[in-house]
């Protein structure tokens, strides 16, 4: 009797944690997109008004950002400083590949970051500022979509984890 109760409790806890973990990804995505937008705004000012070199601007643009988005820009800065022959696009690709498991971003956001990195340092200052603004606008639209998805899916995955584990327990008993 106690063994069944303990097993049932473990199944419920496991199912609930799986549901919460899936819901967390939907919660993290809009926050990470917002952090990228803020970093890009800082990057734009560091590059255009302070005229800092790209690695230094990437390092400074994270400001008070924490988590994996800070790691993206910091790692990219480190890679560009250590390997001066690498392009920003190659540095961004390396960084995204190394942090892929930690990111809650979907393919459209990753493509925007890759596109951004392909144009960093390859055009003049005014074109670069325009391009950064285009990427920021694109990310704002993606953030709106992510917020809508979060509203729909967070509760669903949480309830699905609880109800699914309760269903397994009932079937096993």
Dist CA 54 CA 60 (whole Å) = 10
Cα 98 to the chain's mean position, in Å?
13
Phi and psi at 61, nearest 5°, equal: -70, -15
CA 154 to chain centre: 17
Nearest C-alpha neighbor of 121 from the set 60, 72, 58:
58
pLDDT at 12: 92
Of 9, 15, 24, the closest CA to residue 164 belongs to 15
The CA-atom distances, in angstroms, between 161 and each of 32, 63, 152 are: 24, 37, 15
Residue 113: per-residue pLDDT: 85
Averages of pLDDT over each 10 residues, the chain, 173 residues: 87 92 89 91 83 83 86 88 83 86 86 84 77 89 91 90 91 85
Give residue-wise pLDDT tens across range 125-138. Answer: 778 888 888 889 99
pLDDT of residue 33: 92
| Angle formed by the axes of helices 2-48 and 125-172, nearest 10° | 180
Enumerate residues 6+ apart whose C-beta is below 8 A from 38: 63, 65
Nearest CA to 73 out of 87, 50, 54 is that of 54
DSSP label at 50? Answer: S
3 state SS of 61: coil
Q: pLDDT at position 164, please?
A: 92
- The Cα–Cα gap between 44 and 20 comes to 36
- Alpha-helical (H) ranges within the chain are 2-48, 54-60, 68-82, 88-99, 107-119, 125-172
pLDDT tens sequence across 1-23: 788 888 889 999 999 999 999 89
């Amino acid at each position: 009797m106690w063994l069944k109760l303990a097993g049932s409790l473990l199944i419920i806890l496991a199912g609930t944690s799986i549901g919460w973990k899936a819901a967390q990804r939907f919660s993290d995505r809009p926050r990470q997109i917002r952090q990228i937008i803020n970093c890009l705004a800082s990057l734009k000012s560091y590059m255009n008004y302070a005229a800092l070199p790209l690695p230094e601007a990437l390092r400074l643009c994270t400001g008070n950002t924490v988590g994996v988005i800070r790691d993206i820009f910091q790692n990219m800065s480190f890679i560009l400083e250590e390997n001066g022959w690498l392009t920003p696009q190659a540095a961004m690709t390396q960084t995204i590949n190394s942090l892929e498991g930690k990111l809650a971003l979907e393919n459209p956001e990753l493509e925007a970051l890759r596109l951004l990195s392909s144009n960093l340092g390859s055009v003049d200052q005014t074109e670069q500022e325009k391009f950064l603004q285009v990427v920021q606008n694109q990310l704002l639209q993606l953030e709106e979509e992510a917020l809508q998805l979060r509203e729909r899916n967070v509760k669903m995955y949480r309830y699905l984890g609880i109800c699914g584990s309760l269903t397994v327990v009932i079937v096993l008993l």
